[in-house]
Amino acid sequence: MKEGQLVVPEQVTVPFIEGDGVGSEITPVCQRIVNKAVELAYKGRRSIEWMEVLAGGKAFAQTGEWLPEATMAAFREYLVGIKGPLTTPVGGGIRSLNVALRQTLDLYVCLRPVRWFKGVVSPVKEPQKVNMHIFRENTEDIYAGIEWEQGTPEAQKLYAFLRDEMGVKKVRFPETSSFGVKPVSVEGSKRLVRSAILYALQHGLPSVTLVHKGNIMKFTEGGFKKWGYEVAEQEFGDHTFTMNQFEQLKKDLGEESARACMADAVNAGKIIVKDCICDAFLQNTLLMPEDYSVIATLNLNGDYVSDQLAAMVGGIGIAPGANINYQTGHAIFEATHGTAPNIAGKNVVNPCSLLLSSVMLLEYLGWKEAAVRITAALEKAFAQGEATPDLARFMPDGKPMGTAEFGERIVTLLLEE
């Protein structure tokens, strides 16, 4: 990183975690496709050296540790890495390896782009209207893991404190309640929304929607909305027009003038920053997905939103993702599905979640030409019904292909471009 910008050498070393279960099937396929796309796009001027680092079951088998320090050190040093799915250790100190990676590197954005590929069967009527980029806050909210089980001395102590010192009288069944704490901070919310607005600016996207449940959780989710609007107005005033400003203009000048100002802002290429309550948002994504582009939201909302939107464009096998700290530059791109033990070793797993995450990695490096080539090859394959069985079985002219064969087909399509 130099002055807030990623400086990328022509030869990049990328640490990768192969992944457990289906990881050993999807990782080599993706690397072969990425290598070919980079070679074709840059004719040898640029290349990626893949450096394996261990985590998960493979790490435990070889080193007795689920997440060796050497792996963390590699991600820290090389900034940009990629990972396959990892088995969640049962028992022991680590709750989830993914959470450990995110927390250690403070990867505060979980980025999930969601788009539809022609040919992929979708449960919605007009999937071509779905094109969103979800910025899910990754470090706070109820996910902070601050909770106490009902019946424990800790839960009773917390309740006594709430009752005696904070005057809380609203717990319906205090003796049998578990308790959780939901921290949502100014800095945590602002850095997330800042990243979302910057992304919209850099990618020429029309709007950022703050998705929250501030009507009920006024200080946490409502705070997120308030601080989000502050970022837009105070830090990006020349580039944004917010619904806050719209409401103020409506009060001062009337609705017609407010609408005219918004139309002017849109014509001037400004980003519209608006907000939506999460339950309404989930409904709206089904009814009018074209109204949304970049989404900025809190951790738990983001979890639900990501899965619904992924299902709308083809589901778990094809949804890419990344965890990013835009300040330090650290980023880990990942398969968003699990280790799929029920299909591991059968050559049927869909490599597209990891492959599209690799495309995101290339874009993050600024290697757009290689990224575009892979996306174009995937578009061609899906349009012809060529896909792994999870997708092909729903396509009217579907031609189910094994993981390895599908990978080779994508390489062939790259060569034909």
Contact residues toward ligand NAD (CB under 6 A) are 85-88, 98, 316-317, 334, 337-343, 349-350, 353, 390
Residue nearest to ligand NAD (CB): 338
**Residues ≥6 apart with Cβ < 8 Å to 81:** 14, 15, 16, 17, 53, 74, 75, 331, 332, 333
CA–CA separation, 252 vs 270, rounded Å?
22
Which residue, 97 or 196, has its beta carbon nearer to ligand NAD? 97
DSSP 188-226: HHHHHHHHHHHHHHHTT--EEEEEE-TTTSTTTHHHHHH
Structure tokens at 306: 């990501």
Smallest distance from ligand NAD to CB 303, Å: 12
DSSP H or E run through 241:
strand 240-242
Residues 180 and 147: beta-carbon distance below 8 Å: yes
CB nearer ligand NAD, residue 35 or residue 88: 88
**By C-beta, is 98 or 195 nearer to ligand NAD?**
98
199 contacts 239 by C-beta, under 8 angstroms: no
Least distance (Å) between residue 148 CB and ligand NAD: 24
Residue 116 CB, nearest approach to ligand NAD (Å): 17
Minimum Å gap between C-beta 22 and ligand NAD is 6
**Nearest to ligand NAD of 245, 339 (CB atom):** 339
The Cα–Cα gap between 114 and 134 comes to 8
Secondary structure letter of residue 114 according to DSSP: E
**CA-based nearest residue to 337, from 324, 361, 356:** 356
Which pairing describes strands 320-324 and 331-335: parallel, antiparallel, or unpaired? Answer: antiparallel
CA-wise closest residue to 57 among 81, 86, 83, 28: 86
Report the C-alpha dihedral over residues 358, 127, 288, 211, rounded to 10 degrees. Answer: -20
How remote is the C-alpha of 337 from its chain's centroid?
12
DSSP string, 9-67: -SEEEEEEE--STTHHHHHHHHHHHHHHHHHHHHTTSSEEEEEE---HHHHHHHHS-SS
* Minimum CB distance to ligand NAD, residue 95 (Å): 11
Active site residues: 143, 213, 279, 303
Shortest spacing between CB 330 and ligand NAD, in angstroms? 17
Name which of 242 and 336 has its Cβ closer to ligand NAD.
Answer: 336
Cβ atoms < 10 Å from Cβ of 215: 13
Nearer to ligand NAD, 61 or 168 (CB): 61
Query: Residue 85 or 119: which CB sits closer to ligand NAD?
Result: 85
Least distance (Å) between residue 358 CB and ligand NAD: 14
